[in-house]
């Protein structure tokens, strides 16, 4: 067998199916700013997902480093039932890739937008499971740093997978300014929006925003820019609706958890996610 047989010859062009190293790309199932995600099969013909960095980003050192860092962190944190499973990552003929578990699940953002019955049936399990996944990430020493409904996959029976670790980074020993400030503003904590020192409590804030949105169908703080979101966070007395006002079925204990997570001052939030998980289990009788 020659090298062309082993590596499948020429890599398929972007958007084209075909052999990619030892994987067989079938079709693009999702596309983002950094990469396409392909449904593929491994050498044993089992379905997997292959995430492939966009070719135009090959020469973008920042994008490459971010992609590779996300792969490496996933490899460290994936030993959890509610985090997408890692298979392999590397580079094939110049194309950076990540091979991982294929989850034929919609993300939580989609379920919220269509008020999917899955949420009504399994919302307690979904919230606890994804909190435990985030707790595991923190226990491994990392911030997710891009926690939001779009990065939570949910099956028809309520199973979840936390994914996308491109922005993840080590939890600092003490609150620290980051050299960059990526993310989606409506899920970002005030200190992150202001470019100040951050720690694991930015993920706790993002979890609270996600929890609020999951249970009410609305975001707590809206704005078209980071500045507008920050102003909404600061002026919450006049621009903020309590979760129970939007969804009276939310238990008071659950509302208290949400409000603690999204406190403007980081010191008023849960100091560590283990406290949040314990409170959530208690509030939901798990």
Q: Which band of pLDDT confidence, cut at 50, 70 and 90, is reported for residue 243?
A: very high
Q: Closest by alpha carbon to 50, among 90, 105, 13, 98?
A: 98
- The values of phi and psi at residue 65, to 5°, are -60, -40
* Residue 3 pLDDT level (bands cut at 50, 70, 90): very low
Per-residue pLDDT tens over the stretch 40-95: 999 999 999 999 999 999 889 999 999 999 999 999 999 999 999 999 999 998 89
Residue 247's alpha-carbon distances to 205, 216, 244, 250, in angstroms, are: 20, 6, 5, 6
pLDDT in tens, 148-180: 999 999 999 999 999 999 999 999 999 999 888
| Average pLDDT value for the chain | 92
In this predicted structure, what is the pLDDT of residue 10? Answer: 45
Q: Long-range contact list for 72-79, CB < 8 A, 24+ apart?
A: 73/142, 73/165, 73/168, 74/98, 74/100, 74/165, 76/140, 76/142, 77/136, 77/137, 77/140, 77/142, 77/165, 79/136
Closest CA to 213 of 286, 121, 129, 111: 111
Are the C-beta atoms of 254 and 204 separated by less than 8 Å? no
Confidence bin at 7 (pLDDT 50/70/90): very low
Q: Can you give the pLDDT at residue 239? A: 75
Q: What is the pLDDT of residue 5?
A: 31
Question: Which pair of tokens denotes residue 253?
Answer: 């204990």
Q: How confident is the model at residue 13 (pLDDT cuts 50, 70, 90)?
A: low
The token duo for 35 is 């990469």
Query: Please, is 1 exposed, middle or buried when counting C-beta atoms within 10 Å of its C-beta (0-12, 13-18, 19+)?
Result: exposed
The CA distances from residue 51 to 136, 163, 166, 169, in Å, are 23, 12, 12, 20
Please tell me the predicted confidence (pLDDT) of residue 183. Answer: 84
Percent of the chain with pLDDT over 90: 84
Q: Residue 9 pLDDT more than 70?
A: no
Note the Cα 127 to chain centre separation in Å.
13
Rounded-to-integer distance, Cα 221 and Cα 212, Å: 10
Residues 135, 140, 145, 149, Cα dihedral to 10°: -40
Mean pLDDT, rounded, for 241-269:
97
Residue 23 has pLDDT above 80, yes or no: yes
Q: What pLDDT is attached to residue 32?
A: 85
Query: What's the confidence (pLDDT) of residue 238?
Result: 74
């Amino acid at each position: 067998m020659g090298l062309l047989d082993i590596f499948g010859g020429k890599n398929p062009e972007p958007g084209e199916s075909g052999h990619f190293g030892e994987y067989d790309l079938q079709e693009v199932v999702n596309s983002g700013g950094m990469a396409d995600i392909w449904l593929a099969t491994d050498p044993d013909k089992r379905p997997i997902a292959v995430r492939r960095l966009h070719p135009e980003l090959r020469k973008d050192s920042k994008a490459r480093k971010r992609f590779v860092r996300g792969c490496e962190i996933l490899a460290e944190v994936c030993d959890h039932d509610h985090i997408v499973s890692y298979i392999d990552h590397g580079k094939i003929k110049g194309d950076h890739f990540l091979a991982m578990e294929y989850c034929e699940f919609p993300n939580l953002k989609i379920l919220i937008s269509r008020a999917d019955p899955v949420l009504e049936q399994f919302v307690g399990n979904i919230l606890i499971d994804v909190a435990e996944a985030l707790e595991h990430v923190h226990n491994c020493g990392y911030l997710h740093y891009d926690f939001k409904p779009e990065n939570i996959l949910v099956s028809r029976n309520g199973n979840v997978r936390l994914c996308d670790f491109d922005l993840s980074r080590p939890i600092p020993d003490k609150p620290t300014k980051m050299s960059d400030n990526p993310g989606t503003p409506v899920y970002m904590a005030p200190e992150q929006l202001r470019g100040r020192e951050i720690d694991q409590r930015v993920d706790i804030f993002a979890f609270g925003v996600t929890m609020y949105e999951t249970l009410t169908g609305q975001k707590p703080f809206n704005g078209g820019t980071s500045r507008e979101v920050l102003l909404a966070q600061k002026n919450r007395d006049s621009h903020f609706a309590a979760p129970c006002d939007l969804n009276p079925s939310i238990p008071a204990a659950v509302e208290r958890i949400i409000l603690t997570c999204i406190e403007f001052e980081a010191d008023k939030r849960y100091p560590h996610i283990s406290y949040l998980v314990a409170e959530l289990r208690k509030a939901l009788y798990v």
